[in-house]
Amino acid sequence: MIVTRDLTKTYGRVTAVHGVALEVREGDRYGLLGPNGSGKTTLIRMLLGLVYATRGEIEVFGLPMPKRVKEVLPQVGALVEGPGAYPHLSGRTNLALLDAAGPGGARRDRRRRIGEALERVGLAGIDGRPVRAYSLGMRQRLGLAAALLRRPRLLVLDEPTNGLDPRGIREVRDLLTELNEGGTTVLLSSHLLAEIEAFCTRVGVMDRGRMVLQDDLATLRGPTGRVLLDTPDGDRACALLDGRVEHREGQRLTVRHDAPHDLNTTLVTAGIRVAGLVPEQRSLEQVVMAATTTSSDRVEGSTA
């Protein structure tokens, strides 16, 4: 769906994106992670033809970008760095103007499509108030409605849940899940790990302009070869497992073991009571922390 090769963008002496090979497959829920300033937004802008690459290639739907913008973008819905709307006009008028501005928005069913898009994002009841009077969350929903207006094959969303409350975040996630199940590929960028972890199946991690990691979430979060064991019989368990216990804290033991089911049998056979037994998985946070260096909005003093 999206393939980039050696994609690079330099602004003067600053390299914002460096040799990125992004691969988003059809039907993916792709999460683009990275600290602020890691080049996520620049990458997304290049995918959409807003920023021109210094070097490298982009293919979207198998077509080269930005050469074939006119064929690619009508099938893409996007939200880039916050929604944009004319503040003195109502939400509906904003959507109507945007729809009329480009190709492929038939006039006949414009009202219907706008109504549908607003309903999807939970704004079906908006009145004629100007966007100026909207809350941040409403604007965000309006931006999302604009992205959904023409039922895109690919959704590119940069920080789509900014300004939404927890319930709103949940609603957006449910909406995206529904769209994805209907065949829409979603590329989601965020610096919120929880958001990506809850929604995405595939993750790319950017750090200082480079793609440092790109894999399926399940693989990244694969078992660590350790088991977390909760038991009131800690001492007996330690004695039984002899040296395999790496860490003990209260009733929780961290045991080095590849097969949790066998471990459970061993414990129960020995008469050790088991309150909980879970194979340890790396959290996405651990994965990302291991892959990235420092937050780039941090400015360190030079050590003279």
Partner 1 sequence: MIRVELAKLFRRPRTYVMAALLCALPFTVAVFLATTRIPPPPGQGGAFLSAVLGNGALYPAAAMALVLPVLLPVSVAVLAGDAVAGEAAAGTLRYLLIRPVGRTRLLVAKLVSLIVFVLFAIGTVLVTSYLTGTALFDAEPEGSVTLPADVTSLSGVAITPAGLAMRLLGTVLYLTVSMLGVAALALFLSTVTDSALGAAMGSLAVLVASQVLVTLDAAASVRPYLPTRYWLAWIDFYRDPILWRDIERGAALQLVYLVVLLGAAWANFMTRDVRS
Q: Please, which residue, 98 or 240, has the CB nearer to partner 1?
A: 98
Q: Of 21-29, 99-107, 185-193, 209-217, which part binds partner 1 (CB under 8 A)?
A: 99-107
* Among the listed residues 2, 24, 65, 78, the single contact to partner 1 using CB under 8 A: 78
239 scored as a contact of partner 1 (CB under 8 A) = no
Gap between the Cα atoms of 123 and 222, Å rounded: 39
Do the beta carbons of residue 76 and residue 24 sit within 8 Å? no
Q: What is the contact mask toward partner 1 in residues 14 to 53, using x (rule: CB under 8 A)?
A: -------------------------------x--xxxxx-
User: Three-state SS across 45-86?
Assistant: HHHCCCCCCCEEEEEECCEEECCCHHHHHHHEEEECCCCCCC
**Count of H helices and E strands in the chain?**
11, 15
Site residues for partner 1, 252-281, by CB under 8 A, read none
Q: Please, which residue, 89 or 238, has the CB nearer to partner 1?
A: 89
User: How far apart are CB 28 and partner 1 at their closest, in Å?
Assistant: 20
Q: Please, which residue, 83 or 234, has the CB nearer to partner 1?
A: 83
Q: Please, which residue, 3 or 69, has the CB nearer to partner 1?
A: 69
User: How far apart are CB 33 and partner 1 at their closest, in Å?
Assistant: 21
Question: Tokens for 230?
Answer: 């909760």
Length of the chain: 304
* Among the listed residues 102, 223, 225, 276, the single contact to partner 1 using CB under 8 A: 102
Q: Of 97-105, 173-181, 220-228, 249-257, which part binds partner 1 (CB under 8 A)?
A: 97-105
CA distances from 96 to 107, 109, 112, 155, 248 (A): 9, 11, 11, 20, 62
* Among the listed residues 89, 192, 198, 240, the single contact to partner 1 using CB under 8 A: 89
Gap between the Cα atoms of 226 and 224, Å rounded: 5
Nearest to 189 by CA among 6, 8, 22: 22
User: How far apart are CB 86 and partner 1 at their closest, in Å?
Assistant: 6
Site residues for partner 1, 134-193, by CB under 8 A, read 146
Q: Please, which residue, 87 or 223, has the CB nearer to partner 1?
A: 87
* Among the listed residues 1, 3, 69, 240, the single contact to partner 1 using CB under 8 A: 69
Question: Tokens for 115?
Answer: 């109504």
- Count of residues engaged in binding partner 1, rule: CB under 8 A: 30
Instruction: Annotate 251-284 with b (16+ C-beta within 10 A) or e (fewer).
Output: eebbbebeebeebbeebeeeebeeeebebbeeeb
Gap between the Cα atoms of 181 and 186, Å rounded: 10
* Among the listed residues 70, 132, 167, 282, the single contact to partner 1 using CB under 8 A: 70
Do the beta carbons of residue 32 and residue 190 sit within 8 Å? yes
Gap between the Cα atoms of 281 and 227, Å rounded: 9
User: How far apart are CB 268 and partner 1 at their closest, in Å?
Assistant: 59
Q: Return the bridge partners of 30, or none.
A: 187, 202
User: How far apart are CB 114 and partner 1 at their closest, in Å?
Assistant: 14
The footprint of partner 1 (CB under 8 A) covers 45, 48-52, 69-70, 73-74, 76, 78, 80-89, 93, 97-98, 100-103, 146
